[in-house]
Amino acid sequence: SGQRLVVVADVDRWKAADAKSVAAYLGAPAPDTVLALVGEETKKSTSLAKACAKAGEILVYDVAKRRLPEWVAKQLADRGVESDPEACRSLVETVGEDPEALAAEVDKLATWALGGARIGVTEVEQLAAGCAEIPGYELTDAWGRRDVHGALGACQRLLERSPDPASRAVPGLVGLLVGHVGRVRSVQALVDEGVSAREIASRLKRHPFYVEKLVAQARNYTVDELRDAVVRLAALDHAVKGGSRLAVDLELERALIAITRVRDAAAA
């Protein structure tokens, strides 16, 4: 019989009782099943981490600070974007050493470079500073305020602006949305835990103005809606990479409507 893989994300948000239940399960796990627990801030000293280490293996994916510029270059290259080494160093200096914040800026730069532009120091200075407006800003803002018409219009303008065919431009916009929705979801969870916007900005190493915007957007969506949006965007990613016979720009528009519209209004 084949093995089954079960992936559980955000385990660092679990309550003590949840971790205790899983630790008990690890003592006698289901046969032919691989359980992968994923967390961003799970410490090795926790009871859950100790139980995992005893029953299996802990894999830590930290990036050494001195190698962050190389990591940035690789993230851009994985998105088909060329960059100058000095630009990658400049991005780390501008944004800081938090990989999550750097990943968010990489998403922005990759979206801007959809037309095949190379990322240099000038581009980093213009696009990666605090709250600078960038391609995609208009789209994520419209989504955040649940403006379906605005989101579709911004999406259309971005596609028209790109010299690339939709088959290449659309996946870039999907990546932008995935990153943004993920950040709003993370901020929503912190707000629900009683963390202030100022503290969130400190934790994420982001400009307070930007975090305030994320907090405002998080209030426009329920926990279930953001979770469903993540699932819908994952399905969209599959669709635009060959999983659907529909045109990729049509798939994007359908997904945008689904994750942006107010459910009650849609049902009316």
Residues 244 and 191 in one domain: yes
Lowest mean pLDDT among 27-41, 55-69, 136-150, 222-236: 55-69
Lowest mean pLDDT among 84-88, 92-96, 156-160, 189-193: 92-96
Residue whose C-alpha is closest to residue 217's, from 187, 240, 176, 244: 187
pLDDT at 195: 93
Residues 140 and 268 in one domain: yes
- Given 130, 156, 182, the domain boundary residue is 130
Give one DSSP letter per residue of 30-52, joined into a string. PTTEEEEE--SS--TTSHHHHHH
pLDDT at 61: 64
Residues 232 and 143 in one domain: yes
Give one DSSP letter per residue of 153-169, joined into a string. HHHHHHHHH-SS-HHHH
Report the number of distinct structural domains present in the chain: 3
Task: Classify each residue of 125-148 as buried b or exposed e, where b means 16 or more C-beta atoms within 10 Å of its C-beta.
Answer: eebbeeeeebbbbbbbbbbbebeb
65 DSSP assignment:
G
pLDDT at 226: 96
Per-residue pLDDT, averaged over 88-114, amounts to 81
Residues 126 and 140 in one domain: no
- Given 12, 36, 55, the domain boundary residue is 55
Residues 164 and 36 in one domain: no
In angstroms, the CA 139 to CA 199 distance is 26
In angstroms, the CA 72 to CA 115 distance is 19
Question: Is the model's pLDDT at 132 over the cut of 60?
Answer: no
Q: How confident is the model at residue 266 (pLDDT cuts 50, 70, 90)?
A: very low
Measured CA to CA in angstroms, residue 172 lies from 78, 82, 114, 198 at distances of 12, 15, 7, 30
Token pair in block for residue 244: 């659907």
Q: Which residue's entry shows tokens 């963390």?
A: 195
Residues 13 and 29 in one domain: yes
Give me the domain span that covers residue 251: 135-268
Residues 246 and 164 in one domain: yes
Question: Is the model's pLDDT at 259 over the cut of 70?
Answer: yes
pLDDT at 171: 87
Per-residue pLDDT, averaged over 101-110, amounts to 83
pLDDT at 62: 66
Residues 125 and 142 in one domain: no
Question: Is the model's pLDDT at 137 over the cut of 50?
Answer: yes
CATH number at residue 113: 1.10.8.60
Q: Alpha helix locations (H) across 44-136? A: 47-55, 68-78, 85-95, 99-112, 121-127
Question: Is the model's pLDDT at 133 over the cut of 70?
Answer: no
Mutual angle of helices 208-219 and 137-144, in 10-degree steps: 40
pLDDT at 45: 77
